[in-house]
Structure formats: structure tokens, C-alpha cells
Structure 1
Amino acid sequence: MVRKSPRTLLSAVRHAFPSLEDPEQAIGEGKISVDGSVNRNAQSAVGAGSQISLAQPSILRGEAKLRAALERFEVPVEGRVALDVGAAAGGFTKVLLERGARLVYAVDAGHGQLLGSLRQDPRVRNLEATNLGTLDKKLVPDPIELFTLDLSYLSLADAAPQLERVGISDHADLVALVKPMFELHLSRPPEDAASQQRALELAREGIAKAGWEVVSWMDSPVTGARGAVEFLVHATRGG
């Protein structure tokens, strides 16, 4: 008889929240609860029926990143239909709503992360447990006028072509967060400027090859997990 090893908290968190950049750090910082109790031991055994939850900060890190990008790039949001890919807790989605988006499709491969207030907002379509590669026009029937992307474990060069799975408006904008470690397929964020700039270049090239015109980019005003350098890119189509 072969006995399966019990799953660890780390593996359970990775499964439950696949878009979480650094699950081990989240556990160590006490952001993970198992059946209502905080657990800081990444290697502790977790039962298959245990309820795992992620504590959300009152101010989402993603908010500052997208706000800065929308202001710098002067991207219109009012009255537009948006697709937020990698929505997670909803930092980008929240900013889009604050700026007057008519409707936001919040897409994430994980589940149970989107803030309750956003789940209940009639302007939000919660597409949790949904991969970018499984989107289609049945799930997203509206032509998208604004795309926002905050992805983990998937490069923008791989992600951008998959946006064609949904309808794209004749005049559309795209704002994407560039995370060098995922653009370069590394296990940790690169610390040297040359690698970081190479990642930004690859992201811009990948977006352009997918049929977008890259018009501007900037350093993210907020670093990623463990101080990782990130960038934001703006691209347009049909404008």
C-alpha cells in the first residue's frame, strides 16, 4: 500500500492562490490562516478539508501602481469596459471602478481572493478560478476597451496573444505590470539593472508582436514582493 504524504501549508497555499507572488513570505508574515487560525509554518501538514484564507491589506499594493500608470499615461477609464487579468484581491479592479469604469471583468486563476466589497459590486464580473487561456466570448461577451494585467508565473510575451480570445474594441488601451523574474523565467527577481531592463524590453517586444503599439513605460512607484523592481507599460490598439 502506498501512502500519500500529507500536503504542506506551502503547497496548499500555492494551489489555493496561484497568483500569489511569494506564498512563503505571505505565510511567514502571518497573512495565511488555516481554519481561522494564523499559521506561520510553511512546512506544517494541512488536511485536505482545511479552509485556507489570505488576509488582505486595507490598502492594496496594486492600487498605487495602477493609479500612477493611469495618471502618467493619461489612460481614459470613465464609461469603459475593462478586463483585469490577474485581479487577485482586486487592487487594479478597485482603481478602475473609482475612475468610472462601466464594467470590470476580474479574472484570476485563484479563488477566494477578491475583496467582498468588489464581489458584491454590480459593476464587477468575478471570473475567479479562470485561466487567461480559457477565456472566450461567452465568458466575456463585451468588447474590451481597457486591459490591465498583473500576472505571476506567465510572461507578457506569452500572455498578450491570448487576449485575442475575447473581443477587443476598435480603440483599446492596455496597461501591464512587468515583473522581470517572470519575463526572464527566473526563480527569483534579478537584482542587476541590465537584466531588469532586458525583461522590460522582452515585455514590450512581446506586446508589440501581439498587435499592440507600445507607446510608453515607467518604473513602478511601488516595488514587488521582497523589494523586486517592476515596470508598467502602456500600449494601444486602433487609436
Structure 2
Amino acid sequence: MKERLDKLMVSRGYAPSRERAQALILAGRVLVNEQKIEKPGSPVAADAVFRLLGDDLRYVGRGGLKLEAALAEWKIDLSGLFCADIGASTGGFTDCMLQHGAARVLAIDTGYGQIAQKLRDDPRVQLMERTNARHLAPDSLPPGITFAAMDVSFISATLVLPAVVAAARPERMVVLAKPQFEAGRQHIGKGGIVRSPEAQRAAVERVRSCLMELGAGSIQERESPILGAEGNREFLLYAIWKATGA
């Protein structure tokens, strides 16, 4: 009898949740009968032999590794800050923010029940579930948000950023630009992968232009250290507004 790999990892104690199991699988850290499997839904025999590569993930989701790279690249200090995580999902960004000294994190997501239990139970985390960030009203979020990070899927970041910036008014922001959601359909190949370097660059510039139009005075860029879930290259943009906010 076979079962989904992510579910089997949880039932056999190799991961505390399906979200963590999926993160390990997508990171290429799971061997099944000494063969690497990178699809969480792959059917696996119930008596298969598992082996995990490397140390356990530092964060509840792979997103934490992406934000960690941004914090290191641009020497961003979150100590004592009130931060916002837009598109929180399982909470990789939120976990990373807290581990890097954030005093509080406002975690916003359209879904419900996705964030890791340890973050749901953390008094420093304020959840806004079932909330579409695209429709946030100006100044509708709690005051004092200094830093924000955004990772949204199945929609262009440019459609979400205007509402987020107007609602949160952060001084600094990291945005994950995903070419698969920015490039036109003609640039998306088999498996949902954007392979054209030109299309990837155009996608990043689209997000950069949006941030500039929203008043960012400085925008820096680097590639994400890990690929997206489907194998796409992704890019981190760091935008800075004046100290008074956006």
C-alpha cells in the first residue's frame, strides 16, 4: 500500500506537520530507499526507508531561508521592531523575523489554519487570517510597522503592493519577486517554469518599477538562495523609504 510522501513522513515521525514535511522534500533533503524524491505528493510504500539529509530546517518553512539571505545581504537589523509578514502561509518569514529579534510580527494571509502551531501560540505573533492583502484599506493596519516582507503566490506582487504600502507604511520592505506570477503566459514553460533569462529580468523589473512608483527611494536586488516550489528562480528586492514611512 502506498501513501503520499508528505503524509507518510508525518505519520512516521519524520516531520511535525505536512508543511514541514513538504519544506524538507522541496529542499531536496528527503531520501526514500536512498533515492531523492522532490515531490510531496509522490506515492511511497508504507514500509519505505527514509533518510533526511543535513540539519533540520531552522524555520517552519523554506521562506525563512529566503528572508534570512536578505537580512544578511543588506545587514537588516530587526531587533525590537514591529514587522509585518504579507502572505504568511506556514510562517517561514514570521519565524525568521522573530529569530532575528523582531518584537512583534503581524502575519497576514488569505488562508486559514496554515501557520505553524508554534507561531499561532506565540504571543508575539498577531494573526490576520482570511485577509486578502490586495484589499487592505489605507492606514488600516496597526501603527508602528517598521519593516515588512511579502511573499505572495498566484498573483502579481504589483497588484498587492499598492494596498500593502498604503496600509502598513513601512520604512523598509523585502519583496520576493516570482517570475512565474509576473511573466506572461507565453513565457511559462512545462511544469510552470520560466526559463528565459529575459523574461525573468522583465518580471523583476516590473516589481522594481512598482516599488519606485510607490515612492521607494532605494531598491536593491539579489537572487533567492533557493528555488521556488516548482523549481523557478526567484529574486529578493529590498526597498527603503524615508524614515517617516512610505
TM-score normalised over the length of structure 1: 0.73
Q: Residue type matched to 2:158 in 1?
A: A
2:180: which partner in 1?
A: 181
Structure 2 letter corresponding to 1:213: G
Cα distance in 2 between the residues matched to 1:213 and 1:201: 15
Selected match of 2:202 from 180, 198, 202? 198
Partner deviation per Cα, 1:202-226 (whole Å, 9 max, x = no partner): 1101111112134310010000022
Quick one: distance in 1 between partners of 2:144 and 2:6?
37
Q: Is the 8 A contact 2:138 2:163 kept in 1?
A: no
Mapped pair 1:229 → 2:233: yes
Cα deviation, residue 166, structure 1: 2.0
Question: Which residue in the other structure is 1:163 paired with?
Answer: 164
Give the Å deviation of 1:30.
4.0
User: Conserved in 1, the CA contact under 8 Å of 2:135 and 2:163?
Assistant: no
Amino acid of the structure 2 residue aligned with 1:184: A
In the aligned structure 1, how far is the partner of 2:83 from the partner of 2:184?
28
AA at the equivalent of 2:179? P
Residue identity matched to 1:174: M
- 1:37-93 Cα distance to aligned partner (Å, 9 max, x none): 9xxxxxxxxxxxxxxxx7111632111111011110112211111110010000000
Where structure 1 has 5 or more consecutive residues not aligned to the other structure, the ranges are: 1-27, 38-53
Structure 2: runs of 5+ lacking an equivalent: 12-16, 22-56
Root mean square deviation, CA, Å: 2.4
Matched residue SS, 1:174 = strand
2:179–2:233 contact (8 Å) kept in structure 1: yes
Q: Structure 2 vs 1, CA of residues 164 and 221 (structure 1 numbering), >3 Å: closer, same or farther?
A: closer
Q: Within 5 Å, which residues of 2 pair with 1:140-159? A: 140-159=141-160
How far is the alpha carbon of 1:133 from its aligned partner?
2.8
5 Å-filtered alignment, 1:12-51, equals: 30-31=5-6
**TM-score after normalising by structure 2:** 0.71
> Out of 51, 56, 77, which is 2:19 matched to?
56
Q: 2:88–2:107: 8 Å Cα contact kept in structure 1?
A: yes
Amino acid at match of 2:205: E
Which one-letter code corresponds to 2:20 in the other structure?
A: P
Q: Secondary structure at the match of 1:227?
A: coil
Moved more, 156-165 or 191-200: 156-165
C-alpha distance in 2, partners of 1:85/1:216?
19
CA distance in 1, matches of 2:217, 2:4: 40
Change in 2 beyond 3 A, CA 1:138/1:84? same
* Secondary structure in structure 1 of the residue aligned to 2:65: helix
Partner of 1:211: 215
CA displacement, residues 136-155 of structure 1 (integer Å, 9 cap, x when unaligned) = 47862223110100010222
What's the counterpart of residue 88 of structure 1? 89
8 Å Cα contact 1:81-1:142 kept in structure 2? no
Higher relative contact order (CA 8 A, sep 6+): 1
Residues in 2 aligned to 1:55 and 1:69: alpha-carbon distance in whole angstroms: 26
Shift of 1:232: 0.3
